[in-house]
Structure 1
Amino acid sequence: MPASSSSPSAEPLRLAVDCMGGDHGPSVTLPACKAFLAAHPEAELVLVGQPEALAEAARWPRVRIVPASEVVSMDDPIEVALRRKKDSSMRVALSQLKAGKDGSPALAQACVSAGNTGALMAVAKYLLKTLEGIDRPAIATVMPNQTGGFTTVLDLGANVDCGPEHLLQFAVMGSALVSAVDGKDNPSVGLLNIGEEMIKGNDTIKRAGELLRAAAAHDQLNFHGNVEGNDIFKGTTDIVVCDGFVGNVALKTAEGLASMISSFIRTEFTRTWWTKVVAVLAMPVLQRFKNRVDHRRFNGAALLGLRGLVFKSHGSADAFAFEQALNRGYDAARNRLLDRVHDRIVATLQALPASANEEGGDAGDKTATAVHAA
């Protein structure tokens, strides 16, 4: 989990937690919340769910229980989550990020859920709307690299078909995320491609490269250039940008590869009595390897571009993994990620010449119009 370098806010921060979402519900989310509160004595939680399922948490300090009578299941269609289950724990938790109709501030500064990804994105976009200058929200998470650090990758599945201007927006949002949570003022950005050369890739990637280079020329981005899939794990850049189709395939491939390697190692070390003895001797090394590739440590994908901070946990997360998602949400809130995304997108698109958006079509025009109206 990347450490935050900024000082915490003077005001206590509250996270809204969808306690019913995911494969395991309160059996995982409540222990994770308890551990999070113990590690963050200045934080507060708004726990959302069926009151009888959250009864034990009612006695905890710095906790508020908000009831919700329905649950969005992992296989519910988006339409069901959006239009039928209006009192779901997911929707009620997200609504805690909205200011009151009387002008009162939002009850929570970030929301964490392990629920259905498609439903979470759809409901969040409906309730919270997108920031000025952002056409489409994106999903971003960190992946370990061989430098001992992390590479932030986006989009990971929210947007299957993207235009060049969307990839520019993803780069800006990713830069704000890494700057806020990892404390890097000028993170480097790579555009995922089938080769490093500028002539490689389809028309969308080539045009995106032009927009990213234009942003870099105006000192709005630290654009490294094209990168390939292996650069994610080399740590060539701090951020790797791609469309959601490619990003999701890359993520699932990496998770599958890590699982396969772990399985191979376990099989080989238990093959004979001699390899079992060797395994005991190698246990410290194996444990360190396991910790470095443990996907639970990187749990908590950010839904960037919304008018609220939303973090998505793996649906199958255990208590340790869900706590990491809470940590990421907390770090993002106390380091003003929402403001940073808005400020960066406005500064970037205002700095670019008008011609930079002309070939972007309707989405590019919408982006420019929204930014200049902000």
Structure 2
Amino acid sequence: MNFPRIAIDAMGGDEGVQVMVAGAALAADRYPQVRFLLVGDQSRIERTLDRHSALRPLVEILHADDVISGEEKPSQALRRARTTSMGMAIHAVKNGSAGAALSAGNTGALMAISKLALRTIPGIDRPALAAIMPTLQPSDVVMLDLGANTECDARNLVQFAIMGAAYARIVNSQPEPRVRLLNIGTEDNKGTEELRDAAALLKERAGDLSMVFDGFTEADKICRGEVDVVVTDGFSGNIALKAIEGTARFVGDLLRRSFSSSLRSKIGFLISRPATDLLKHHLDPNNHNGAVFLGLNGVVVKSHGSANALGVANAVGVTQRLLEENLTERIKADLARLGTETLRAPHKVTAEAGQG
């Protein structure tokens, strides 16, 4: 039997090999069908594996001499890709020795190396970084792009919608995801020309793509659970993501400060502990770890650099499910139904952009 194998950049992230190997060990308990290619300093990986003996039979080690730092520019990382743990993990996908790559390292470098090595799916101009975020409803929301492309035209946004819907059908088991474009208002005449052109095309062709296009959404509605896929350019998406993450940390810090301000507050904390623990679990990024570069000829997943072993294990879970559900082939099938000629000539909307 062929088991899916995931190449892990064991040297990436804030804690490096310790957390990445511990996360792989935790994932091996959850997903016994997965095998691992650990890429990095062999001696350090071997020493860490001594503390995870059950993982060793499921692992092959690929030695890499170099590591890409968090501050390294993508152009510099590209020149050293073939000798680094990140680059070698991605090339393992390219040459077929792994089905997917997972790294917690430098996001810009990971995107640049992945795009050069794997190329994009025919019909996709640019890969997009997609992640899932918690909502008030039982299912999460998929959001893209989160920083890979700072400027996007209507064609890019339509492609992102196609890829995001395919991803949502896998991770949230939604046969027809509700898709909206992030905008400054929900009225049809609001936003940039690119947004309005993309909306016009998606309204026209959503029925061909197993999605429900619901028009525009605003940033304060992202986590309400009213939409399954939020599509935007990487500039706006990254700002929105950082604002949501910052607000979550602010709420957590405010609660901690409030509950420690007096004896009465401390007693109140003990009474409300189950509720605050549930809130902490819901807002913990480790429980939603694993952003995906959609649109590549291969699966590449980005883990939070600060993720703990649980976060890495969750990212492995996302990776193995994308392999299991053939994400790349699903995106290709959706593109074929839409037709690449349609994407080359988005319907033009002439209304003036709204303000505010």
TM-score range, shorter chain: over 0.9
Residues 70-114 of structure 1: CA deviation (Å, up to 9, x unaligned): 000100111221013431000000011123xxxxxx121111100
Shift of 1:183: 1.7
Report the equivalent of 1:267: 257
The answer for the alignment partner of 2:17 in structure 1 is 26
What corresponds to 2:167 in structure 1? 177
Q: Which of the numbers 242, 252, 271 marks the counterpart of 2:232?
A: 242
Distance 1:81 1:293 in 2: 33
Correspondence for 2:344 among 357, 366, 373:
357
Say which of 80, 83, 99 aligns to 1:84.
Answer: 80
Aligned sequence identity (%): 36
Superposition deviation, residue 172 in structure 1: 0.2
1:183/1:149 CA distance change after superposition, 3 Å: closer
The normalised TM-score by structure 1 is 0.88
- The question of whether the paired residues in 1 share the 8 Å contact of 2:201 and 2:346 is answered with no
- Whether 2:195 is the aligned partner of 1:205: answer yes
* 1:45 equivalent in structure 2: 36
* Contact kept in structure 2, 1:71 and 1:85, CA below 8 Å: no
Note the C-alpha offset of 1:220: 5.0
> Residue 81 of structure 2 contacts residue 113 of structure 2 at CA under 8 Å; is this kept in 1?
no
The alignment status of 1:142 with 2:145, answered yes or no, reads no
Q: Find the residue that maps to 2:6 and give its secondary structure.
A: strand
- For residues 355 and 36 of structure 1, the distance between their equivalents in structure 2, rounded to whole angstroms, comes to 42
Q: How many residues align?
A: 343
Question: 1:178 offset after TM fit, Å?
Answer: 1.1
1:208-357 matches, cutoff 5 A? 208-218=198-208, 221-349=211-339, 357=344
Task: Tell me whether 1:17 sits opposite 2:13 in the alignment.
Answer: no
TM-score of the two chains, using structure 2 as the length reference: 0.93
For 1:211 and 1:238, the matched residues in 2 are separated by 19
Give structure 1 regions of 4+ aligned residues with deviation exceeding 6 angstroms: none
Aligned AA (1:55): E
Retained in 2: the 8 A contact 1:220–1:347?
no
SS at match of 1:97: helix
Q: Alpha carbons of 1:187 and 1:153: their partners in 2 closer, same or farther (altered >3 Å)?
A: same
What do you get for the CA RMSD once the two structures are aligned? 1.7
Output the amino acid matched with 1:247. Answer: G
Classify the secondary structure of the residue corresponding to 1:198. Answer: coil
* Contact 1:165–1:360 under 8 Å retained in 2: no
Q: Which runs of 5+ in 2 are unaligned?
A: 349-356
Deviation at 1:217, TM superposition (A): 4.9
Q: What CA distance in whole angstroms lies between the structure 2 residues aligned with 1:244 and 1:235?
A: 21
Listed one character per residue, the Cα deviations across residues 315-366 of structure 1 (whole Å, up to 9, x for unaligned) are 111111111111111111111111111111221225xxx56633589xxxxx
1:151-190 correspondence runs (5 A): 151-190=141-180
